Amino acid sequence: MPKVSDEYKLNRRQQIIDAAYRCFVRNGFHETSMRDIYEETQLSPGAVYNYFRSKEEIIEGSFQFDYERSRELFKSARHSDDPLKALEELLNFLFTGLEDAARLQAPRINVQAWGQALINRRFQETMNQLFDVYLDDAAHIIGRAQERGEVDANLDSRAVARSILSLYFGLELQLALDPEVNVRNYMTVVKAILRGSFRQDSEKGQEA
Amino acid sequence: MPKVSDEYKLNRRQQIIDAAYRCFVRNGFHETSMRDIYEETQLSPGAVYNYFRSKEEIIEGSFQFDYERSRELFKSARHSDDPLKALEELLNFLFTGLEDAARLQAPRINVQAWGQALINRRFQETMNQLFDVYLDDAAHIIGRAQERGEVDANLDSRAVARSILSLYFGLELQLALDPEVNVRNYMTVVKAILRGSFRQDSEKGQEA
Amino acid sequence: MPKVSDEYKLNRRQQIIDAAYRCFVRNGFHETSMRDIYEETQLSPGAVYNYFRSKEEIIEGSFQFDYERSRELFKSARHSDDPLKALEELLNFLFTGLEDAARLQAPRINVQAWGQALINRRFQETMNQLFDVYLDDAAHIIGRAQERGEVDANLDSRAVARSILSLYFGLELQLALDPEVNVRNYMTVVKAILRGSFRQDSEKGQEA
Amino acid sequence: MPKVSDEYKLNRRQQIIDAAYRCFVRNGFHETSMRDIYEETQLSPGAVYNYFRSKEEIIEGSFQFDYERSRELFKSARHSDDPLKALEELLNFLFTGLEDAARLQAPRINVQAWGQALINRRFQETMNQLFDVYLDDAAHIIGRAQERGEVDANLDSRAVARSILSLYFGLELQLALDPEVNVRNYMTVVKAILRGSFRQDSEKGQEA
DNA sequence: TATGAATGAGTATTCATTCAT
DNA sequence: CATGAATGAATACTCATTCAT
pLDDT in tens, chain A (208 residues): 667 889 999 999 999 999 999 999 999 999 999 999 999 999 999 999 999 999 999 999 998 766 777 788 888 888 889 999 999 999 999 999 999 999 999 999 999 999 999 999 888 988 898 889 899 999 999 999 999 999 999 999 999 999 999 999 999 999 999 999 999 999 999 999 998 877 765 444 444 3
pLDDT at C66 over 70: no
Query: How sure is the predictor about D204, in pLDDT bands with cuts at 50, 70 and 90?
Result: very low
Q: What is the mean pLDDT of chain C?
A: 90
F strand bases under 7 Å from protein CB:
1-21
Computed on alpha carbons and rounded to an integer, the radius of gyration of chain C in Å comes to 21
Chain A's closest residue to B181, CA to CA, is A159
Burial label for A203, CB within 10 Å (0-12, 13-18, 19+), is middle
Instruction: Say how far apart CA A130 and CA A116 lie, in whole Å.
Output: 15
Q: Is the CB of D14 under 7 A from strand F?
A: no
Angle at A19 between CA A14 and CA A25, to 5 degrees: 120
Closest in D151, D154, D181 to C199, CB measured: D151
Instruction: Say how far apart CA D7 and CA D5 lie, in whole Å.
Output: 5
pLDDT number for residue A170: 98
Are A159 and B189 in contact by the 8 Å Cβ rule? The answer is yes
Percent of chain B with pLDDT over 70: 93
Angle at B178 between CA B174 and CA B180, to 5 degrees: 110
Q: What is the mean pLDDT of chain B?
A: 90
Q: What is the pLDDT of residues D122-142, one digit of tens each?
A: 889 888 888 898 899 999 999
Q: In terms of residues, how long is chain B? A: 208
Give the pLDDT mean for D59-75.
79
Closest in C163, C167, C200 to D151, CB measured: C200
Give the pLDDT mean for B166-183.
97
pLDDT at C208 over 60: no
Instruction: Say how far apart CA B165 and CA B159 lie, in whole Å.
Output: 10
pLDDT number for residue A205: 40
Q: In terms of residues, how long is chain D? A: 208
Angle at A127 between CA A121 and CA A130, to 5 degrees: 140
DSSP character at residue B118: T
pLDDT number for residue C65: 64
Instruction: Say how far apart CA D38 and CA A64 lie, in whole Å.
Output: 36
pLDDT number for residue D3: 61
pLDDT number for residue A72: 82
Q: Is the CB of C35 under 7 A from strand F?
A: yes
Q: Is B33 on the interface with A (CB under 8 A)?
A: no
Burial label for D200, CB within 10 Å (0-12, 13-18, 19+), is middle
Region of residue D28 (phi > 0: left; psi between -120 and 50: alpha; otherwise: beta) = left
Bigger pLDDT: A68 or C170? Answer: C170
Strand partners, A199: B151
Residue C8 CA to its chain's centroid (Å): 29
Identify the three-state secondary structure at position C199: strand
pLDDT number for residue B207: 40
Q: How many CB atoms lie within 10 A of CB A57?
A: 13
Q: Is B181 on the interface with A (CB under 8 A)?
A: yes
Please report, as a single letter, which amino acid is at residue B123: F
pLDDT number for residue C1: 66
Residue nearest to nucleotide E18 (CA to C1'): D46
pLDDT at B151 over 60: yes
Query: Residues of B from 65 to 94 whose C-beta is within 7 A of strand E: which are they?
Result: none
pLDDT at C204 over 90: no
Residue nearest to nucleotide F12 (CA to C1'): C34
Shortest distance between the Cα of B34 and any Cα of chain A, in A, equals 16
Strand partners, B199: A151
Shortest distance between the Cα of D1 and any Cα of chain C, in A, equals 39
Are B188 and B92 in contact by the 8 Å Cβ rule? The answer is no
pLDDT number for residue A1: 66
| Partner-chain contact A115 B174, CB within 8 Å | no
Instruction: Say how far apart CA B56 and CA B58 lie, in whole Å.
Output: 5
Burial label for B134, CB within 10 Å (0-12, 13-18, 19+), is buried
pLDDT number for residue D65: 63
Are B107 and B172 in contact by the 8 Å Cβ rule? The answer is yes
Shortest distance between the Cα of C108 and any Cα of chain D, in A, equals 7
Strand partners, B67: none
Q: Is the CB of A11 under 7 A from strand F?
A: no
Phi and psi of C130, rounded to 5°? -55, -50
The integer distance in angstroms from the CA atom of B57 to the C1' atom of E6 is 24
pLDDT number for residue B155: 96
Are D170 and C165 in contact by the 8 Å Cβ rule? The answer is yes
Smallest CA-to-CA distance from C68 within C133, C158, C160 is with C133
pLDDT number for residue D66: 61
Q: What is the pLDDT of residues C85-143, one digit of tens each?
A: 999 999 999 999 999 999 999 999 999 999 999 999 888 988 888 889 899 999 999 99
Identify the three-state secondary structure at position C53: coil
Smallest CA-to-CA distance from C98 within C199, C181, C4 is with C181
Chains A and C touch, contact meaning at least 3 pairs of CB atoms under 8 angstroms apart = no
Lowest average pLDDT, out of A113-122, B181-190, C61-70, C175-184, goes to C61-70
C-alpha separations of A15 from A38, A112, C144, C203 in Å = 10, 21, 77, 85
pLDDT number for residue A181: 96
Give the pLDDT mean for D164-179.
96
Bigger pLDDT: B196 or C161? Answer: C161
Q: What is the pLDDT of residues C12-60, one digit of tens each?
A: 999 999 999 999 999 999 999 999 999 999 999 999 999 999 999 999 9
* pTM (global) more than 0.85: yes
Instruction: Say how far apart CA A24 and CA A63 lie, in whole Å.
Output: 10
Region of residue D4 (phi > 0: left; psi between -120 and 50: alpha; otherwise: beta) = beta
